[in-house]
Structure 1
Amino acid sequence: MDAVNAPARRYHSPLRKEQAAATRDAVLAAARELFVGEGYRSSTVAGIARRAGVAVDTIYATIGRKPDLLREVVETAISGTGQAVPAERRDYVIRMREAKAAAEKISIYAHALARIQPRLAPVYVALRDAAGTDPDCAALWQEISNRRAANMLKFVEDLASTGELRTDRPAEELADAVWSMNGPEYWVLLVDQRGWSPERFADWLTDAWCRLLVEQK
């Protein structure tokens, strides 16, 4: 085939991908530090760029505007990775669904929360505070809250599949009760303000949810 007419080769560089991922991580780390430390309203994209050591245009090109940055900071705090991960693909959710007994499912989830909340709670509180004055943050706050509520209903339905879920209260009510206790605010009250250890928090949730959700014999 004539070289002139040969199809163009696509250039894939592992190094370039690594550099792009490192830049993204640096930007999100800088955004997290400023959102948590100074508040969303006081933080600027220019300030985030300076802290990350990148150009402002790089942030716009790789992630987007300030609301996009906050969304990515929240999503990565939830997933514990550099990207958002749907609930059904998270490792602890997979382990929960594979577990046979309700108490085991509850323990897996409670201990997963104790690993998630140290990174999520500060960001979540910053989002909550920003939601009072910023429409984009308010919409994200409501979206995350609704998604969490829907996931808690799935959690309760998974517990029901064991045949051990209490049946004297509606599933939606039980899901709302779990939703109220798995929120970062609950973590802040017990761990940050009352000085509980993460392990104590996880053990407490396991015990409380077993008593609350499982049919007592």
Structure 2
Amino acid sequence: MDEPVKTRSYTSTVRAEQAEKTRGAILAAARALFVERGYRRTTVQLIAQQAGVNVDTIYQAIGRKPDLMRELVETSLSGRAVAVPARQREYVRLIREAPAATDKIDIYARAITDIHERMAPIFIALRDAASTDEPCRALWRDISARRARNMLEFAADLRATGELRDDLGDQRVADVIWSMNAAEYWVLLVQERGWAATEFERWISDAWRRLLLRAD
């Protein structure tokens, strides 16, 4: 009596694993092509060819080209195969639990460095696509606004330690961090000036400490 149930369970697991593998291949192909050719010159047909699937499979698994870009951005941010809300990410938990502002800054500097190693190429592709494609423009605005909101929360978290400079409001603190955690800043220093990722991490951690925390 149990055997059919086991068979169905096994079949379901195999299908789920195959679907995840297909989804991963599609996203990998889209990422490579968006970065190499740009969003506008990359067609869904090209993505399908590189991923070894047909176009309908892409539409069923993820969606149309703007959906592919959104999924690439979200998974690059989360570092997972699926999107993870900011508050559920491990580094955010560590920041919230850290007692000192210096520790919080160090954790975030390390996290944003890891994110940019995944995120920067696709984010630059998104920025370029946003100049001509309305769904990408909307995504660009959404990500930018989300970063700004998240940095206000980070500023409030730093404020709670009592270590922030008294002459800086939370909005100014958030704006400073928002500008320096941008993919464009990473590209300027790491890709264009040849900094190592570890140098970038140490730089922004030291800069935020000096700019935002009390000298005493």
Shorter-normalised TM-score: what interval?
A: over 0.9
Q: 1:159 maps to which residue?
A: 158
Equivalenced residues, count: 210
**Scaled by the length of structure 1, what TM-score is found?**
0.94
Q: Deviations 1:38-60 (Å, cap 9, x if unpaired)?
A: 00000011110110011110110
State the SS of the aligned residue for 2:132: coil
Q: 1:56 maps to which residue?
A: 55
1:216, CA displacement in angstroms?
Answer: 1.5
Q: 1:44 maps to which residue?
A: 43
Q: Take 2:66 and 2:84, find their aligned partners in 1: how far apart are those partners?
A: 19
Residue correspondence of structure 1 range 17-32 to structure 2 within 5 A:
17-32=16-31
1:123, CA displacement in angstroms?
Answer: 0.4
Q: Quick one: which amino acid aligns to residue 78 of structure 1?
A: L
Q: Take 2:18 and 2:118, find their aligned partners in 1: how far apart are those partners?
A: 24
Q: What percent identity do the matched residue pairs reach?
A: 58
1:113, CA displacement in angstroms?
Answer: 1.2
Q: Take 1:212 and 1:16, find their aligned partners in 2: how far apart are those partners?
A: 52
Q: Deviations 1:127-183 (Å, cap 9, x if unpaired)?
A: 000100111110000000000010011111111111111121221011011100000
State the SS of the aligned residue for 1:167: coil
Q: Take 1:131 and 1:178, find their aligned partners in 2: how far apart are those partners?
A: 23
Residue correspondence of structure 1 range 50-89 to structure 2 within 5 A:
50-89=49-88
Q: Take 1:43 and 1:99, find their aligned partners in 2: how far apart are those partners?
A: 43
Residue correspondence of structure 1 range 175-194 to structure 2 within 5 A:
175-194=174-193
Q: Quick one: which amino acid aligns to residue 213 of structure 1?
A: L
Q: Deviations 1:13-34 (Å, cap 9, x if unpaired)?
A: 2111111111100000000001
Q: Deviations 1:178-206 (Å, cap 9, x if unpaired)?
A: 10000010000111111111111101111
Question: Cα RMSD (Å) of the superposition?
Answer: 1.5
Q: 1:142 maps to which residue?
A: 141
Q: Quick one: which amino acid aligns to residue 42 of structure 1?
A: R
Q: Take 1:193 and 1:141, find their aligned partners in 2: how far apart are those partners?
A: 22
Q: Take 1:36 and 1:20, find their aligned partners in 2: how far apart are those partners?
A: 24
Q: 1:4 maps to which residue?
A: none
**Scaled by the length of structure 2, what TM-score is found?**
0.94
Residue correspondence of structure 1 range 53-132 to structure 2 within 5 A:
53-132=52-131
Q: Take 1:145 and 1:38, find their aligned partners in 2: how far apart are those partners?
A: 24
Q: Deviations 1:82-108 (Å, cap 9, x if unpaired)?
A: 111100111111111110000000000
Structure whose residues are more often helix by fraction:
2
Q: Take 1:55 and 1:193, find their aligned partners in 2: how far apart are those partners?
A: 37
Q: Quick one: which amino acid aligns to residue 106 of structure 2?
A: S
Q: Quick one: which amino acid aligns to residue 122 of structure 2?
A: V
